[in-house]
C-alpha cells in the first residue's frame, strides 16, 4: 500500500527493519510539499500516524477533522484537546 505512493517511500520501506512481533514501523519519508504529502497520506488513515514535522501532522489532522465534520461528527472535543 505505501509502496504505491512514490519512489522515496518505496526506498524508505526497503531500508527499514521491522522488529519481530511488532506491526509498526517508523519511516522518514522526504517530501517536497506538505500539502501534497498530506493528500497522499490521508487515504492511508488509520494505518499511518504522522509524527512530524508538526506542520504536516497538523495538515493531516485538519483534513481528518474536516472529513469527520462533513459526516456530522462532533470534532469540537478534538479541537479543544489540541489547544
pLDDT tens, position by position, 41-60: 888 888 888 999 999 999 99
Model-level pTM? 0.68
Contact 54, 79 (CB under 8 A): no
d(CA 17, CA 70): 38
Phi and psi at 71, nearest 5°, equal: -95, 10
pLDDT of residue 46: 82
pLDDT of residue 75: 72
Amino acid at each position: 500500500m505505501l509502496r504505491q505512493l512514490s519512489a522515496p517511500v518505496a526506498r524508505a520501506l526497503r531500508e527499514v527493519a521491522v522488529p519481530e512481533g511488532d506491526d509498526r514501523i517508523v519511516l522518514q519519508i522526504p517530501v517536497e510539499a506538505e500539502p501534497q504529502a498530506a493528500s497522499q497520506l490521508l487515504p492511508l488513515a488509520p494505518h499511518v500516524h504522522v509524527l512530524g514535522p508538526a506542520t504536516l501532522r497538523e495538515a493531516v489532522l485538519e483534513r481528518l477533522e474536516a472529513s469527520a465534520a462533513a459526516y456530522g461528527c462532533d470534532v469540537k472535543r478534538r479541537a479543544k484537546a489540541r489547544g
